Amino acid sequence: MTFKKGTTDPALFARAAAIPRESVVEVTGTVQLSTKAQRGVELLPASLELLSESKVPLPLGVVDHVGVELDTRLNHRVIDLRKPAVRGVFELRAALLAGFRDAFRDREFLEVETPKLLRQGAEGGATLFPVQYFEERAFLAQSPQLYKQMLMGAGLERVFEIAPAFRAEPSDTVRHITEFTSLDAEMAYLDSAEELRGVLENVLKEAIEHARGRLAPAQPELSARLPELTLPLPRITFADAVHSLGRDTTDVDLGTEEEKRLGERIASEHGSPFYFITDFPVAVKRTTFYARRNEADPSLTGYFDLYHRELELASGGPREHRIERLRAQIVEAGLSPEEFPGYLEAFEYGMPPHGGWGFGVDRFVQALAGLPNIRETRLFPRDRYRLTP
């Protein structure tokens, strides 16, 4: 709020000028139209009451155009969140999530909630956070993978979940955090991996369109920068991707620099920052023991990743629904079937062919908002070194 001399009582002006920035005040006055005001109206104050006085000095500016280190911003996150540009990130996030929910419901998906305290992780214990659970040890969920597959055997043929997940990776990069939001979906009676990709890209397109329309009145600049997706998105097999990068071996996943080079090339050739890498080899997805193998070429899976330039956003594909093959793949992954009793029981009483994906909401927001660091997509981010505020 701005008080101008000549339009404000001098005593009121002096009182307002003495109040520290970011204090909470209650102002009574007359509202009138103004072509000079940012929102088209201005308030001519008649009285002012100080409700809560701010401490000085501020740890960081709110209206000042002064660069501040990200750590400083996150250490004083409540002040940082008062900035309109920062608040806009979370308006975008909320609009995207609302769009995702509408898109899934239009396709008759049921929203579910699966446990976040588990006895066993979806991919073994290397990246799990252990917690004390009464007299025994439990783990924070790294994924709802096992439960959403079990629901396919329960007759809930299309499900989705938007929920927190936890991954104890020691990575300290601009695209890794330890607590993140995962959007997971699963479909029964699946015909092909291409059917999954088709649903995913259409849901993605509709979520962006919903966000664009919802943000347009209050955040027109942010709304305008959201991309128009042209479907189908580009597809490239894993083998073609690594060969195009000058590498012969296909038994090792893409590295960070390779992802960056591939993303730049796809965007340049196809005009799309979004693209799929398909047909991942078993050697790359071996720990993903539930991935269905290609019947014609058992060295391949039907798995795919969705990328935005160098950012991996989603991973998924058809799952193995035949219990004996599933048991064998668990052993191949270096795990024991005895570790998954409840999961495997769901496959013993009839399990339809199914598949799905996990999608990183935080990375998606990071990509669309053009943020340099994924921590900016979380209200209060958690990483390897941050547990407060």
Q: Which residues form the catalytic set? A: 167, 169, 175-176, 312, 315, 363
Enter the tokens of residue 186: 């699963």
Q: Which residues of 263-291 are buried (b: 16+ CB within 10 A; e: fewer)?
A: beebbeeeebbbbbbbbbbbebbeebbbb
Q: Strands 24-33 and 274-278: what pairing? A: unpaired
Query: E strand or H helix at 46, and its extent?
Result: strand 41-52
Helical (H) or strand (E) element with 304: strand 304-308
CB 303 within 8 A of CB 263: no
Those residues whose C-beta lies under 8 Å from the C-beta of residue 161, and which sit 6 or more positions away, are 111, 112, 113, 114, 144, 148, 182, 183, 184, 185
Say how far apart CA 216 and CA 71 lie, in whole Å.
Answer: 31
Q: Pick the closest to residue 12 from 46, 44, 57, 54 (CA basis).
A: 46
227 CB neighbour count, 10 Å cutoff: 14
